[in-house]
Amino acid sequence: MANEESPASKAAEDAEGEPSADADEDAASTSGTRDDDAAGKADDDADEKADADDEAPGDTAEKTDDAAPRAPAGARERYRRLHTLSGALALGVFLVEHIATNASALGGGASYDSVVGAIERSRVLPFVEVVFILLPLAFHAGYGLYLLRSKAAPDAVIARYGERRLWLLQRASAIGVLVFVLAHLWELRVQRLVFGLSADALHTTLTAHLSWTWAGVPFIALFYVLGLLAVSVHLSNGLFAATAAWNIGVSATGRRRARVTTIALGGGLFLLGAATTVGLATGTRLLPEADGDSAAVVVPCGSAAPPPFRVAPTPSR
């Protein structure tokens, strides 16, 4: 019949109108392949990113090391411990001995010369100064300047001082100590080594310098008092932090005792050093009868006292 379509024609129309099962399978296969490729690419990108993240800290550290080499944390902690130890031994022991011996000036020039002058004339003094004083102080000052370059410090280091303000006070007092020590070394030690200042002239030199005034103000003596204050604060605060660094008195009671002890030590040294400075500047003596230059003059009283001058008798004519 004319109206009936042949089976072949109908099959052709079905093929043109709807995709075949094979086509569906091919499309599904292609789509799956694309999805697999996309997923694989995403996985590869993720792996590369993870590798980059893993390598980033090392690269950053390497760049940081190239810019400013830094010691490992363990080495830095050892340096800090040596820094506190050198300060406690060199600055602490030397400061106690130095202020105590210079306090002999409160007994007068002869007393000062018998104590300080004898030490200055000792033959082993240069060896002791270089090995036990100058070298530890040089390390303490050098590493201290290195620490001052950084504006921050690990929380564990700040905690050794008890609070952040005391840590800042330690840094500020360090600058004052450095200026005071350099000026003091120039005034006496360099004058002795380079310009030939005699050990017998130390008392006279100190007296002349500390008693000097300008516009009625003893600026050098005030500088010495402020320098002694900076040294005492630095030593007291540093010793307290050193006990924590070396695990001494870690309990609450131990920390309180360490604080009281270090404050008492620093305060006592400051008072003794300030009294010595004032004594040299004003001539004040704690022991006026200690030596001849400050001994009280015994003057007879009453009729035994000689007249201030004698009147020569007028010759008779």
Instruction: Give how many domains the chain has, as a whole number.
Output: 1
Of the pLDDT bands very low, low, confident and very high (cuts 50, 70, 90), residue 198 is confident
> Residue 52: is its pLDDT beyond 80?
no
Is 62 a member of any domain? no
Is 63 a member of any domain? no
Of the pLDDT bands very low, low, confident and very high (cuts 50, 70, 90), residue 316 is low
What is the residue range of 212's domain?
73-285
Most confidently modeled of 91-95, 128-132, 217-221? 217-221
Is 94 a member of any domain? yes
CATH code at 253? 1.20.1300.10
Non-local CB neighbours of 137 within 8 Å, separated by 6+ positions: 86, 90, 91, 94, 181
Residue 62: its pLDDT value, please? 39
Residue 37: its pLDDT value, please? 52
Residue 190: its pLDDT value, please? 83
CA distances from 240 to 27, 91, 129, 233, 270 (A): 79, 14, 26, 11, 17
Is 67 a member of any domain? no
Most confidently modeled of 72-81, 96-105, 282-291? 96-105
Of the pLDDT bands very low, low, confident and very high (cuts 50, 70, 90), residue 247 is confident
Residue 281: its pLDDT value, please? 92
> Residue 46: is its pLDDT beyond 90?
no
Is 226 a member of any domain? yes
Comparison of pLDDT for 179 and 122, the residue scoring more? 179
Neighbouring C-beta atoms of residue 32, cutoff 10 Å: 10
Classified as helix, coil or strand, 217 is strand
Residues of the chain by 3-state class (helix, strand, coil), percent to 5:
75, 0, 25
> Residue 294: is its pLDDT beyond 70?
no
pLDDT tens, position by position, 95-139: 898 999 999 988 888 888 888 878 888 888 888 888 888 888 888
Residue 170: its pLDDT value, please? 93
Is 297 a member of any domain? no
> Residue 21: is its pLDDT beyond 80?
no
Residue 304: its pLDDT value, please? 45
Torsion of CA 19, 24, 30, 31, to 10 degrees: 100
Neighbouring C-beta atoms of residue 59, cutoff 10 Å: 10
CA dist., res. 236 & res. 233, Å (int)? 5
Q: What is the DSSP string of 218-284?
A: -HHHHHHHHHHHHHHHHHHHHHHHHHHHTT-S-SHHHHHHHHHHHHHHHHHHHHHHHHHHHHHHH--
CA dist., res. 285 & res. 263, Å (int)? 27
Range 301-308 average pLDDT:
46
Q: What is the mean pLDDT of the chain?
A: 74
Is 2 a member of any domain? no
Q: pLDDT > 90: what percent of the chain? A: 27
Is 56 a member of any domain? no
Phi and psi torsions of 214, nearest 5°: -135, 125
